[in-house]
């Protein structure tokens, strides 16, 4: 079960509806950041809530530090307290911001895993070391409220506080373990950018009988426009988009495939076969080493009960791109914008809005000394030892923190597919919580020397 002394605080943290992308939730984000500060200070941390220059009105960034031994290394620990919107609310079996511990040993709530559960369980393990009076490295903590929207405030703030961020190791607990909770060291992440595409035609919705066959239809147009982004074999059809992609090494490819899930396992997890993306490539290669352009949502016309016979005046689509090493986010979105403008259906006007996210993907050297240390620690925890994974997801600000701090990144997390992050009924298990605590105790003890 969950550690009794941590469960109440975990639940209190999860009750904050910290949807960082929603301006209406700014106060909730501020109150959550203040709660985090109040939790850290009694454990010996100096703590400050910070704002990026010129970015007032954004969720505060929690910056904390606790000095360790005189000659110990410095650890920079990163996480985020913002969460995804809970929509669709009707699909939740429990209230998304009222955490519920069920008989299956899992806590259900938005943020239960991503990322409140992951970083809080790590800090609970750190607290055990502090309470026991055991040696600790210097620990610096950065917890932000905008990771789910590209970390704009922290990206702006980090270069101005380089001295405060300076560290030897950058620890992140916002990733997944391998299947069956085998430990995994993340050796690379894809970058991400998001944007909105809007098509407009008539000044207002039109009667589909009176104007059908005459007025251009943005709902049809957005479908045609989005379909043009990919070839029939699933490959990205945007000219120049993949030209600079850096292929993985043979060693990286072999390591990634050795830890791959089977097609049957993917289908069991997703509820559909793993056939998205480019034909002729394995799921691991498509997810770890190739970029994507995904449609996250389409909105046009009427979607209520019954029918409403209109030609919508506009249509909107939300898109995201996952980018790999060799691709610059600004170049990628420029390629997509040129493509979309070349394919605008006749009689319609195109608008590209809300472009966010400018952090590239990265891959880390497998020979990193910090990887060797982590391998030894994780083998103590699990005799199977860790696997290496190149995660298809993104933590956009990691590259920024790495460059500003000079620290070697070490990404080890305990997520599993059944956690259903970004989806209704997100959850986190007691076994995962305890593994994260143990990982914190062992890696911080090892770094303390």
| 14-28: pLDDT as tens digits | 999 999 999 999 999
**Tens-place pLDDT, residues 115-144:** 999 999 999 999 999 999 999 999 999 999
* pLDDT at residue 167 is higher than 90: yes
pLDDT in the model for residue 149: 87
- Name which of 244, 185, 131 is nearest 377 in CA terms: 185
**346-359 average pLDDT score:** 90
- Percent of the chain clearing pLDDT 70 (strictly above): 100
Question: Alpha-carbon distance 277 to 65, whole Å?
Answer: 43
Compute the C-alpha angle 407/409/414, nearest 5°.
Answer: 145
Query: What are the counts of helices (DSSP H) followed by strands (DSSP E) for the chain?
Result: 13, 18
- pLDDT score at 110: 98
Is 359's pLDDT higher than 80?
A: no
Is residue 69 very low, low, confident or very high in pLDDT (cuts 50, 70, 90)? confident
Q: Compute the average pLDDT of residues 265-272.
A: 92
Tell me which H or E stretch contains 50: strand 46-50
Q: Is a pLDDT exceeding 80 seen at residue 358? A: no
* Residue with the two structure tokens 């899992």: 106
- pLDDT confidence tier of residue 260, bands split at 50, 70 and 90: confident
Distance of CA 91 to the CA centre of its chain: 22
How many beta carbons lie within 10 A of that of residue 230, not counting itself? 17
Confidence bin at 360 (pLDDT 50/70/90): confident
Read off the pTM: 0.87
- pLDDT number for residue 385: 96
- What is the residue-wise DSSP string for 102-169? -TTSEEESTTSSTTHHHHHHHHHHHHHHHHTT----EEEEEEES-GGGT-HHHHHHGGGGHHHH--SE
pLDDT at 12: 98
Q: Give the DSSP letter string of 366-402.
A: TT-HHHHHHHHHHHHH-TT--EEEEESS--TTHHHHH
Contact partners, residue 356, CB within 8 Å, separation at least 6: 149, 150, 152, 193, 194, 195
Reduce the DSSP state of residue 443 to 3 states and report it: helix
Residue 93 has pLDDT above 80, yes or no: yes
Q: What confidence score (pLDDT) does residue 148 get?
A: 92
pLDDT at 154: 96
Lowest-pLDDT range of 13-17, 266-270, 296-300, 432-436: 266-270
Q: Place 71 in a pLDDT band, splitting at 50, 70 and 90.
A: confident
pLDDT at 1: 83
Q: What 8-state DSSP symbol labels residue 360? A: P
Q: Is the pLDDT of residue 157 over 80?
A: yes
Q: Measuring CA to CA, how many Å separate 390 from each of 340, 377, 423? A: 30, 20, 22
Domain ranges of the chain: 4-190+361-448, 191-256+274-359
- Given this model, what pLDDT does residue 391 score? 87
For 157, 163, 299, 304, the CA distances from 61, given in Å and listed in that order, are 9, 16, 33, 40
Q: pLDDT band at residue 5, thresholds of 50, 70 and 90?
A: confident
Cα–Cα distance between 328 and 268 in angstroms, integer? 35
CATH number of 191-256+274-359: 3.30.70.360
With 90 as the cut, is the pLDDT of residue 269 above it? Answer: no
Collapse the DSSP code of 293 into the 3-class scheme (helix H, G, I; strand E, B; otherwise coil) and give the result.
strand
Residue 128 pLDDT: 96
Buried b (16+ CB within 10 A) or exposed e, 49-75: ebebeeeeebbbbbbbbbebeeebbbb
The CATH number fitting domain 4-190+361-448, selected from 3.40.630.10, 3.40.50.1820, 3.40.190.10, 2.102.10.10: 3.40.630.10
| Mean pLDDT across 30-59 | 96
Mean pLDDT of 56-71: 94
Average pLDDT rounded to a whole number, residues 177-182: 94
Percentage above 90 pLDDT, the chain: 90
Q: Residue 325 corresponds to which tokens in the numbers above?
A: 């090493």
Question: Is residue 11 scored above 90 in pLDDT?
Answer: yes
**Average pLDDT value for residue range 10-15:** 98
What whole-number distance in Å separates Cα of residue 120 and Cα of residue 126? 10
For the chain, give the mean pLDDT.
95
Q: Is the pLDDT of residue 394 over 90?
A: no
pLDDT confidence of residue 143: 98
Question: pLDDT value at position 376?
Answer: 97
- Per-residue confidence band for 396, with pLDDT thresholds at 50, 70 and 90: confident
pLDDT in tens, 411-427: 999 999 999 999 999 99
């Amino acid at each position: 079960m969950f550690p009794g002394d941590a469960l109440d605080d975990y639940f209190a943290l999860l009750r904050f509806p910290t949807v960082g992308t929603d301006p209406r939730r700014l106060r909730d984000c501020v109150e959550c950041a203040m709660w985090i500060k109040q939790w850290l200070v009694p454990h010996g941390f100096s703590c400050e809530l910070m704002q990026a220059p010129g970015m007032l009105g954004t969720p505060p960034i929690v910056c904390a530090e606790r000095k360790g031994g005189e000659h110990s290394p410095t650890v920079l620990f990163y996480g985020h307290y913002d969460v995804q919107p809970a929509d669709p609310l009707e699909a939740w079996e429990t209230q998304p911001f009222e955490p519920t511990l069920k008989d299956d040993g899992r806590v259900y709530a938005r943020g239960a895993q991503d990322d409140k559960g992951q970083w809080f369980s790590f800090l609970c393990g750190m607290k055990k070391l502090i309470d026991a009076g055991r040696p600790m490295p210097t620990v610096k903590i950065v917890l932000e409220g905008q990771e789910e929207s590209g970390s704009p405030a922290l990206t702006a703030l980090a270069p101005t506080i380089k001295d405060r961020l300076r560290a030897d190791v950058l620890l992140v607990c916002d990733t997944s373990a391998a299947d069956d909770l085998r430990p995994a060291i993340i050796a690379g992440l894809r970058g991400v950018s998001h944007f909105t595409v809007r098509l407009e035609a008539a000044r207002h919705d039109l009667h589909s009988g009176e104007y059908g066959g005459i007025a251009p239809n943005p709902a049809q147009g957005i479908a045609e426009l989005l379909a043009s982004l990919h070839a029939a074999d699933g490959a990205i059809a945007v000219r120049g988009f993949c030209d600079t992609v850096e292929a993985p090494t043979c060693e990286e490819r072999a390591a990634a495939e050795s830890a791959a899930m089977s097609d049957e396992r993917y289908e069991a997890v997703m509820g559909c076969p793993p056939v998205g993306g480019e034909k002729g490539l394995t799921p691991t290669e498509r997810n770890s080493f190739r970029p994507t352009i995904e449609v996250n949502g389409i909105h046009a016309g009427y979607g209520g009960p019954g029918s409403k016979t209109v030609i919508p005046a506009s249509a909107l689509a939300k898109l995201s791109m996952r980018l790999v090493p060799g691709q610059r986010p600004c170049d990628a979105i420029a390629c997509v914008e040129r493509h979309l403008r070349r394919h605008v259906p006749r009689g319609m006007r195109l608008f590209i809005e809300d472009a966010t996210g400018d952090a590239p993907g990265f891959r880390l050297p497998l020979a990193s000394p910090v990887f060797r240390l982590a391998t030894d620690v994780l083998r103590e925890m699990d005799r199977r030892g860790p696997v290496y994974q190149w995660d298809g997801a993104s933590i956009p600000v990691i590259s920024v923190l790495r460059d500003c701090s000079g620290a070697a990144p070490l990404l080890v997390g305990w997520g599993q597919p059944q956690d259903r992050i970004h989806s209704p009924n997100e959850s986190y298990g007691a076994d995962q919580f305890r593994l994260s605590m143990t990982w914190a105790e062992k890696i911080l003890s090892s770094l303390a020397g």
